[in-house]
Amino acid sequence: MAKFQPKIYSLSTLNIRQHFNCDYRFHDFRTDFSGESGSGKSLIADFIQLLLVGSGVFKSGTEGVKSRDTSGLALKSAGGNYGRGYILINVEVQPRQYIALGGYLESSSTQMLFFIVQAGYDFEETLAPMNAPVFYRDLLLDGQIDTLEKLEKNALEKGYLKRVSNKKYYHLLFNNGILAVDLSQNEQSLKSYAAIIRSFSRGKGFSTHSDALKTFLFGDADQKRLLAKYNDELQNIHTDHQQHQRLQEEIALIKDKEQKIERVMLDFNAYHHLKKQHSQESASFWFRENAHAAQELEQAEKVYQVSSARKFLVAKRLAARKKADIAGRYDAIKKLRNKRNNAEQDTAMLEAQKDNAKKLLDGSTRYKELIDKVNSWLTEDRKDSESIRQWYSEERSKLTDAETLKAFEGYLHAHRLQSEFKQSDWYQEDYVTARYNTLQKLKKLEDAITNKEVQLLFSDLDNPASLAHWAIAQLALPLSIEQESLLFHYQPLSRTAPIPPQKRYLPFPERLFKNPTIVKADDGGFWLELNGLYEYITYVSEQHLNVPADQIKLDRVPLKALKQQLDTLTGEYEQLKNLREKLEGYPALEKAITLYKTNPSELFAATDDIAHLTPPELEQYLSAFKNSEQHLADYEKEEKAYGIALDNYTLIRRADGDAKEKIEEVERHMIDQYGGTDFEQLLQELEGDLLLAGNALDELIITKTVSLQRIQKLETDLFSTNPAMNKLHEMNTNTEAEYKDAARLRDQKKERCISSLEKLNESKMKFLAEHHREFVADQDAVKIDQEPDENQSNRAGIKFMESYDSASNEIEDKTILKDYSVGVLAHKLLPTIFPTQQLQEELIGEQIEKRLTELANDLQSIGSRKIEILHNVFSEVHKAYNEYLTKVQRIARYLSSNEITGGNYATLQHKPAPGYPEDWMKIFRKRLTHEMQEVGLFASAHKQDISEIMLSVFREANGDRNAKIEDLLNPRSYFDLLFEIKLENGQSNSGSNGQTYTANALLCLARLSLIEDKEHVGIRVMPIDEAEGLGGNYEMLHALAKKEGYQIITMSIDTAGDINNDGQYIYIMHDNKDSTGSTYVPPLGIFHDGQLTENINEIFE
């Protein structure tokens, strides 16, 4: 089944110059855009080029007054300096399956940003097609054109939009079958593809000059690669020339340092021999010492195992004895506890009986006590209950009066009123008279205080409230006694309205005092008439205002005396008032005062205890006495019953105490002997001890450390008599001490054995290091009675280090030589021979000789190796040259198979380039070989370099004398191309514009076939500008495009060729170059049967 050919389904613009917001549906084969200049039809080809190759290599396919770039495509906002816009194509990758490719443009930038819309999330490798194409309305956010960054954050209804880098964009287009060319591989492929897309546009044809054709068809990647490789090899040759000199210097240096190393090696070998001898003797000595230590350890181990068996046997017997003792005491204490538990209910019952009997006895005892008390009250004068009650009343009254008096005295003392009370009328008069006299005294004091306050205010001439002060200023002095009495009488009234309101105040004194109406007078005062109201005014006792103003005697001295008098009166008043309030606040005051005045000896006469009883309590006594016979009989009965209950309870409590004492005795014994009373825990622990001792003995038997017979013999010896508990404890202590002593001795022997073994292992390691094999006692042990001395080998070592230090004088870093390793020395003196410090000293001389041989061989091989490399460079140049000519032949065959109108054909031929003979490279290779064999490529520092030899040979072969090295390494330099139109007879023809364009288009198609991946599908689009000018050639291109699977997009004033009702869509564009959004005229469309429609969106419905 044939692969589906991807195609451009539609093109959309959003806020783009001359197209505004529009969706164009593309026909699968041919879509025409017709219209006058300025209608924006040529921009269609620019949009397609931009969305396939990007703004980096974009050039408009149509010539204009000035060069076009992407900054002018996005429309600016009305009255603004900034604008943004989008262009987008939907690629149908499978039937009704779409992937949208878009570009984001800003008027402030010449760079276009790529984005892709797909159904999936993977923007790294595989794109998922959508079920519906994306149109310009899908890119609006709330009806507005926003930035790509914000658009990316808002999911579209049809798919997922994401901005991608240019390289990722090209890779995704190739990897997902949208383009058959991988534009991400190199810049040349991208530029070539962009040039091909532009070349289809009539106004942007390419030059047919040979150099331009070669660049168009083959690029310059091979030239750059070969030149870089050549320069690298030249650098390597220069490096080898320096290496040649270094090798000779290294040989001389190696021979000098070889002598130093030989001297060190002689001393090292002598030192090494003595070290080997010492290691053998040391290993032999410690081998014998370790064997002796092992024998002693074996003996100590046997003693330790026997002591272990004795220890565990005694421990087992002691644990068994303890277990039996504890178990017996545990049984005894459980019986005692059970006995106590069983007696607990009886005890409770007897205790309840005792308590009940005691309660009944207490009740009877109470009645007996009451009866006994009444009998004590009976005398000759008091023989019955009535006489007792009379006597009680008398005694009770004495007590009550005494208590009342004490309370009153306490009250006076608490308020500090004793002295005042005795001096007052309350003490000296009867209660009624005292109360009356006190009230009268308080009233007189109140009047005197009021009068004194008025007099004080009236006499204060500096006080504005003083009516005397007012009269001196307002009235004519001297004043009459009536006038001054009138002033003094109304002095208490306020001049302002009192708050809260009271009866009277005096706001206008002058109305009252200037013309008073006096009706009648007597010796004490006079009557004042106030509009029908009479008020009596008392004469002042002394006048002060009856003299002229300058003779008034009122001054501050009388004021001070008045104040002192007022304070005295106030004090007397408060003292008397306080006494009255405190006394009248005391309950039953009159009786309390009467008792206070009574003779104490009469009041506090001795009283009997009966007085302290309450009347109900007295009646309780008398009632019990009345039934004394019954109460006394009950008392005797209850007393006897209580005695019996107490005896029973005491007996069972004594028995319980004995059991408790025995339990405590057992527990004390357990604590003393075993440290606790938790019998279960102690028994469990002893069971564990028995098990542990038994397991330990079994382990000795199982491991055959001590035999069963030996253990039985030890047990018989230990327990031939049945030892007591204290004897077992003593035996346990002794066997434990024996065990520890044996363990200590064994550990000492073990430490000695370990120490001697460590010494032996250490000496064996030294033996291994010196002899390079393991120490074998049978063949390596020598007789030696004491630890060998290292002095001789140490002296040899000192001599070796001295020669070592002498040989290493030239080494700056002495720290790495501190171990005196011959390997390190050889590595530092001759690092090229000994690259690491790990080497065999006996092979040092052999390796030095080997290195000298290698250096001699390297000197001979350097030249031939470089000649071979240079041969390879020019072989690659020749190979690329042949590949170019092969591609030229393929293109020529393609061109000859497609006829242009008028029987013309486009032809492409190659020929040798003048001044660049192909065979000069063979001569150059021979020259290099001669230089190496005859005189040596590096024999002289003044010898010609390779580039000079190359140019010399090239010129000797009649090469262009102006040629440069980069020209000689360029495979395109050795041939020229000729592209022309010819008739069938081979005669050249300059051709018309249409024929020339057609020939160029054929060459572009041939070039695409060279760079397209044959295994990949992809869209194929041919934008043709001014297509109607091609004449009959258009039909040939039309047929060729259909054959090759290309979509044709034409841009012309009139539709090119014949109109095919089913094989093309036509858009008729209007002149919108100066239009704004409101004046934009949308194109007309022809989609079916030649019908013209104003609604171009109907094709999507």
Q: How is 192-254 classified by DSSP, letter by letter? A: HHHHHHHHTSGGG----SHHHHHHHHH-SHHHHHHHHHHHHHHHHHHHHHHHHHHHHHHHHHH
How sure is the predictor about 666, in pLDDT bands with cuts at 50, 70 and 90?
Answer: confident
- The full set of domains in the chain, from first to last, is 7-180+1013-1100 (3.40.50.300), 462-553 (no CATH)
pLDDT at residue 950 greater than cutoff 60: yes
| pLDDT over 80 at 314, yes or no | no
pLDDT of 203 higher than 50 = no
Mark 232-256 as b/e (b = at least 16 C-beta within 10 Å): ebbeebeebbeebeebeebeeebee
- What's the rounded mean pLDDT across residues 497-502? 80
Q: Is the pLDDT of residue 940 over 60?
A: no
Chain-centroid distance of CA 106 in Å reads 41
Closest C-alpha among 163, 166, 144, 136 to residue 152: 163
Strand-strand pairing, 113-118 and 97-106 = antiparallel
Question: Residue 769: phi, psi to the nearest 5?
Answer: -65, -35
Higher-scoring residue by pLDDT: 445, 935: 445
Other Cβ atoms closer than 10 A to 497: 10
- Residue in the block written with tokens 């003693």: 303
What pLDDT, on a 0 to 100 scale, did the predictor assign at position 984? 66
Label residue 862 by pLDDT band (50, 70, 90). low
pLDDT score at 124: 93
Q: Give residue 226's pLDDT.
A: 84
Angle at CA of residue 724, ends 721 and 729, nearest 5°: 110
Q: What is the pLDDT of residue 99?
A: 97
State if pTM tops 0.75: no
pLDDT bin (cut points 50, 70, 90) of residue 145 is very high
Token pair of 981, please?
């139109």
What CA–CA distance (Å, rounded) separates 41 from 37?
8
SS3 state of residue 856: helix
Higher pLDDT, 723 or 363: 723
Instruction: Report CA-CA distances (Å) from 75 to 47, 54, 72, 87, 933.
Output: 15, 19, 7, 12, 74
Instruction: Lowest mean pLDDT of 75-79, 103-107, 239-243, name the range.
Output: 239-243
Q: Which among 481, 460, 482, 485 has a CA at the least distance from the CA of 546? A: 481
Q: What is the pLDDT of residue 932?
A: 58
Choose between 170 and 571: higher pLDDT.
Answer: 170
C-beta of residue 30 within 8 angstroms of C-beta of residue 1047? yes
- Give the pLDDT of residue 95: 94
Q: Lowest-confidence range among 83-87, 100-104, 797-801?
A: 797-801
Residues 6+ apart with CB under 8 A from 876: 226, 229
Tens-place pLDDT, residues 886-927: 888 888 887 777 766 556 777 888 888 888 887 787 777 777
Which residue type occupies 443? K
- Identify the helix (H) or strand (E) that includes residue 547: none
Token pair of 794 as six digits: 């140490």
pLDDT-derived band at 935, boundaries 50, 70, 90: very low
pLDDT score of 60 more than 70: yes
β-sheet with 97-106: strand ranges across: 20-25, 7-16, 84-94, 97-106, 113-118, 160-163
Please report the pLDDT score of residue 140 as a whole number.
94
Supply the pLDDT for residue 556.
46
Residue 797 CB neighbours (<10 A): 20
- Residue owning tokens 């009645």: 367
Kindly report which listed range (337-341, 664-668, 931-935) carries the lowest average pLDDT score.
931-935
**pLDDT 10s digits, 255-311:** 677 777 777 778 777 777 878 888 777 878 888 888 888 888 788 888 888 888 888
Residue 103, strand partner residues: 87, 114
**Residue 312 C-alpha from the chain's centroid:** 61
| Strand order across the beta sheet in which 904-912 lies | 899-900, 904-912, 975-982, 988-989
CA dihedral 644, 649, 652, 655 (to 10 degrees): -100
Q: Which of 62-76, 624-638, 902-916, 940-954 has the lowest mean pLDDT?
A: 940-954
Structure-token pair, residue 617: 């309590």
Tokens linked to 823: 């390997």
In the numeric block, the tokens 């000859």 are attached to 896
Residue 129: the pLDDT is 96
Q: How many CB atoms lie within 10 A of CB 813?
A: 8
User: What gap in Å lies between CA 358 and CA 361, rounded to an integer?
Assistant: 5
Which residue from 959, 337, 352 is spatially nearest to 666, judged by alpha carbons?
A: 337
Higher pLDDT, 849 or 735: 735
Structural tokens at position 944 = 């010609």
pLDDT band at 1061 (very low <50, low <70, confident <90, very high): low
Q: Which residues of 383-401 are buried (b: 16+ CB within 10 A; e: fewer)?
A: eebeebeebbeebbebeeb
Residue 549 CB neighbours (<10 A): 13
Could you tell me which residues are beta bridge partners of residue 23? 12
Residues 1042, 1046: Cα–Cα separation, whole Å: 6
Residue 202 pLDDT greater than 60, yes or no: no
The most confident of 179-183, 868-872, 1051-1055, by mean pLDDT: 179-183
Exposure of 587 in the CB half-sphere (CA atoms within 13 A): 2
The least confident of 70-79, 423-432, 632-641, 1001-1010 is: 1001-1010
Average pLDDT over residues 238-249: 67
Bridge partners for 94 per DSSP: 97
- Scored b (16 or more CB within 10 A) or e, 11-41 reads bbbbbbbbbbbbbbbbbebbbbbbbeeebbb
Q: How far apart are the first and last CA of the chain?
A: 30
For residue 941, pLDDT over 60 is answered with no
3 state SS of 1061: coil
Residues 6+ apart with CB under 8 A from 77: 83
Give the DSSP H or E segment for 163. Answer: strand 160-163
Q: How far apart are CA 329 and CA 335, in angstroms?
A: 10
Confidence (pLDDT) at 858: 66
What is the helix (H) or strand (E) element at residue 1024, kind and residue range? strand 1021-1025
3-state secondary structure of 388: helix
Name the residue with tokens 């090119």: 1056
With cut-offs at 50, 70 and 90, classify the pLDDT of residue 942.
very low
> Considering only CA atoms, which of 974, 976, 1027, 979 is closest in space to residue 1004?
979
Give residue-wise pLDDT tens across range 377-391: 777 777 777 777 777
Cβ(963)–Cβ(953) below 8 Å: no
What pLDDT is recorded for position 430? 83
Model pLDDT for residues 366-377, shown as the tens digit of each residue:
777 677 677 767
3-state secondary structure at position 908: strand
User: For residues 49 and 59, what is the distance between their CA atoms, to the nearest angstrom?
Assistant: 9
Q: Which of 710, 752, 704 is nearest to 295 (CA)?
A: 752
Which segment of 173-177, 454-458, 718-722, 959-963 scores lowest on mean pLDDT?
454-458
Helices and strands counted in the chain (H then E):
30, 19
Of the given ranges (57-66, 938-947, 1032-1041), which has the lowest mean pLDDT?
938-947
Q: What is the mean pLDDT of residues 813-827?
A: 64
Average pLDDT over residues 167-190: 88
Cα–Cα dist 926/870, whole Å: 12
CA gap 504, 230 in Å, rounded: 134
Per the CB < 8 A criterion, the answer to whether 476 and 549 are in contact is: no
Cα(843)–Cα(827) distance, integer angstroms: 13
Mean pLDDT for the chain? 79
Per-residue pLDDT at 132 exceeds 60? yes
